[in-house]
Structure 1
Amino acid sequence: MPALPAGLPLPGGGSMNRGRRWVRSDVGLAVVLGCFASAVVVGIAAMPADVPVNLVFLPLVLGILFLSNRVLRWFAAFIMVALTAAAILQDTYQVRVVVALCVMYGLSALVIALSLRRDHVGVGPIRGQSMLVDLRDRILAQGEIPELPEGWLVQSALSSAGGSPFAGDFVVATASDRGRRMELVVVDVSGKGEAAGTRALQLSGAMGGLVAALPPDRFFPAANDYLLQRAWEEGFATAVHVSVDLRTGDFELRSAGHPPAVQREAGSGRWKPLRPDGPVLGIVDDAEFSCHRGRLAPGDSLLLYTDGMVELPRRDIDLGIDHMMGEAESLLRGSWDGLARRLVAAVGSRDDDRALLVVHRRP
Structure 2
Amino acid sequence: MLDTPTPAVPFRLTSLAHGGGCGCKLAPAVLRELLAEQPASAGFTRLLVGTETGDDAAVYQLNDDTCLIATTDFFMPMVDDPYVFGRIAATNAISDVYAMGGTPLLALAILGMPLGRLEPAIVREILKGGASIAAEAGIPVAGGHSIDAPEPIYGLAVIGTARPDEIRRNSTARAGDVLILTKPLGVGIYSAAFKKEKLPPAAYDEMVAAMTTLNRIGNALGREAAVHAVTDVTGFGILGHGLEVARGSGLGLEIEAAALPVLTEARALAQAGFVTGASHRNWASYGEGVRLPEGMAEAERHLLTDPQTSGGLLVAVAPEAAERVLSEIRAAGFPRAARIGRAVAGAPAVTVV
TM range (shorter): under 0.3
Greater relative contact order (Cα < 8 A, sep 6+): 2
Greater C-alpha Rg: 1
Structure 2 length-normalised TM: 0.25
**Hey, which of these two has a bigger chunk of helix by percent?**
1
